[in-house]
Amino acid sequence: MNLRVRSALIIFLVVILDRVSKLYIRASFAPWDVAVVIPRVFNIVHAENPGAAFSMLAEAPPFVRAVLLIGVSMGVMTIVGVMLWRLPKNAGGLMFASLALVFGGAFGNLWDRVFRGSVTDFLQVFIGSYEFPAFNVADSAITIGASLLLLNLARNRKSAP
Torsion of CA 11, 16, 18, 19, to 10 degrees: 140
**Catalytic residue check, 18:** no
Rounded distance between C-alpha atoms, residue 125 and residue 122, angstroms: 10
139 tagged catalytic: yes
Of 18, 33, 112, 121, the active-site residue reads: 121
Residue 158: pLDDT band (50, 70, 90) is low
The SS3 of residue 49 is strand
Mean pLDDT of 97-110: 96
Please identify which of the residues 18, 33, 112, 139 carries the catalytic annotation: 139
pLDDT tens sequence across 36-90: 999 999 999 999 988 776 566 767 777 777 888 889 899 999 999 999 888 887 7
Angle between helices 3-28 and 137-159 (to 10 degrees): 150
**Quick check: pTM over 0.85?**
yes
Structure-model confidence comparison of residues 63 and 14, the more confident one: 14
Q: Is 82 left (phi over 0), alpha (psi -120 to 50) or beta?
A: alpha
Q: Which residues pair with 82 in a beta bridge?
A: none
pLDDT for the residue numbered 161: 58
Amino acid sitting at position 67: V
